[in-house]
Amino acid sequence: MTHELRAIDARSPQAVMVALRAALSGGPAINPRTDNSVPVDLPAEVEKRVAVVIETSGSTGQTKRVALSAGALLSGAAAADAALSGPGQWVLALPGHYVAGLNVLVRSIAADTEPALLPVGHFDPQAFLDAAASLTHAVRYTSLVPAQLGRVLDLAEVDRAGQRILGRFDAVLVGGQATPAALLARAEKAGVRVVRTYGSSETSGGCVYDGVPVGQTLAAVVDGQLELSGPTLAEYYLRDPARTEAAFVEREGRRWYRTGDAGSVGPDARVTVIGRLDDVIISGGEKVSLGVVERAVRELPGFADAVVVRAPSERWGEVPVVVAVAPPIDLTALRAAVTSVVGRSAAPDRLVVVDSIPLLPSGKPDRAQLARLA
């Protein structure tokens, strides 16, 4: 059985929420988009069990259309409520056409609460604090990417009223990329309860909180790759059976999603994510994880938003390159700092200084554009 798939303009979060409420109740499926156009290759109908089609951020240049069921999205909402402080009221600070923003709306619908909606476009930390101050529910949440959290803390640290508003959140979910320890320390000092989340569109968003799988999520490592299982998994990639078959596998009657990340699962089931498997380069004959290098760089003062990308090298094959805004140290000092933590083979080859880090609408760094810069 099939039903209608509607393109919804995500520039209107209210419109997305109305259409999403219907989709979660068995109505037409929705594809939230950045405009009101309908792509020529978007099918008019999808299988009845599909409620939402989310397009991935394409940070690596590979856009995918992820088909999610209402059951998967609502399972994620229930797992989040159980792991946090129960149903609550949310501030929507992320685009509704990405899974993290969509989940704010799903959880609001499940909790029967009205989210505070920020204006679509450039993130304004004052507008965020104003929206947070308007919340009336006893339990309060929001979801941010690290760069947004940093900007809100910048404002709150010089504004006691802003700091009190931030401190009233029961949880500030932060995901999308690794969160620097220095940023977490700033949040803790400001009295903000940050919950680091890990997941993707294929898992209906974050399903691991502070390293702990939530709800019925299970984690395993197979051949060095982190895999996730549970009721929040996507149905498939729309019109891409080959990619679906490669990403979703079944073992002993259980379906698993291959995340593409290197990681480990401890005896206490705690998950540690090392970095993308495809972000490992061979530099001078040695394997170097760009994710590991990036985490080391971001711990340095003034490099919280830095991004590490690969670049070709005639001598070494490939090398790590750091892209940063107004770095406080030069390349020599940067190489020494990284070498002391990660090793000589991981030392950045170049430091590219930019006016600002190009971002995708999701708030994540545009790694494809950064790679071109490097």
Tens of pLDDT, residues 320-356: 999 999 999 999 999 999 999 988 889 999 999 999 9
Q: Is the pLDDT of residue 61 over 60?
A: no
Between CA 327 and CA 212 the distance in angstroms is 34
Residues ≥6 apart with Cβ < 8 Å to 242: none
**Predicted confidence (pLDDT) at residue 214 exceeds the cutoff of 50:** yes
Strand partners, 7: 31
Which contacts (CB < 8 Å, 24+ apart) does range 103-107 have?
A: 103/73, 103/76, 103/77, 103/143, 103/204, 103/205, 103/206, 104/141, 104/142, 104/143, 105/13, 105/16, 105/17, 105/20, 106/20, 106/24, 106/73, 106/74, 106/76, 106/77, 107/77, 107/80, 107/81, 107/141
Q: Look at the pTM and tell me if it is higher than 0.95.
A: no
| Cα–Cα–Cα angle for 84, 20, 171, rounded to 5 degrees | 20
Please report which confidence band the pLDDT of residue 177 belongs to, taking 50, 70 and 90 as the band edges: low
Structural domains for the chain: 2-200 (3.40.50.12780), 284-373 (3.30.300.30)
What is the percentage of the chain residues whose pLDDT exceeds 70?
97
Residue 367 confidence (pLDDT): 85
**Looking at the predicted structure, is the pLDDT value of residue 9 above 90?**
yes
Express each pLDDT in 236-252 by its tens digit: 999 999 999 999 999 99
Q: Residue 94 and residue 108: Cα distance in Å, rounded?
A: 14
Per-residue pLDDT band at 122 (split at 50, 70, 90)? confident
Return the pLDDT at 59.
47
Two tokens, residue 146: 């690290």
**Average of per-residue pLDDT across 200-227:** 96
Each residue's pLDDT tens digit, 123-171: 999 999 999 999 999 999 999 988 899 999 999 999 889 999 999 999 9
Query: What average pLDDT does the segment 289-314 reach?
Result: 91
Q: Are 53 and 65 in contact (CB under 8 A)?
A: yes
* Confidence band for 287, pLDDT divided at 50, 70 and 90: confident
Asked whether residue 264 carries a pLDDT value surpassing 90, the answer given is yes
Q: At residue 58, does pLDDT exceed 70?
A: no
d(CA 221, CA 263): 7
Instruction: Please tell me the distance from the alpha carbon of residue 153 to that of residue 149, in angstroms, as a whole number.
Output: 6
Going by pLDDT thresholds of 50, 70 and 90, the confidence category of residue 277 is confident
In this prediction, residue 362 carries a pLDDT of: 66
